[in-house]
Amino acid sequence: MTQERNQAKRHRWARPGMKVTFKAELMPGKTSEERTFIVKEVLWNDRVTLYNLEGEHQENEFEPITKQ
């Protein structure tokens, strides 16, 4: 694996098992809890798949992730 790719892997925006919340404008009328899903897998292109929701999703679909 190249150094660039290795470094990119360390700085991924999401990790399996973490919770992500879709931006409200993408799911109007839904509460924050209804817009929150758990990351199933982070794909090679930095998109994610989620439990209980089909498809691939990218970082800009979600509310900003804050470190806790």
* Half-sphere CA count of 8, side-chain side, radius 13 A: 10
Q: What is the structure's pLDDT at 68? A: 60
Q: For residue 60, which amino acid is it?
A: N
* Residue 66 belongs to a domain: no
pTM, two decimals, is 0.81
The answer to whether residues 4 and 12 touch, using CB atoms and an 8 Å cutoff, is: no
Q: Which helix (H) or strand (E) holds 5?
A: helix 3-10
Number of independent structural domains in the chain:
1
Could you tell me what percent of the chain has a pLDDT over 70?
81
Domain of residue 55 covers 3-61
Using the predicted structure, report yes or no on whether residue 19 has a pLDDT greater than 90.
Answer: yes
Residue 65 is predicted with a pLDDT of: 83
Contact 19, 37 (CB under 8 A): yes
Q: Specify if 68 maps to a domain.
A: no
> Would you place residue 12 in the very low, low, confident or very high pLDDT band (cuts 50, 70, 90)?
confident
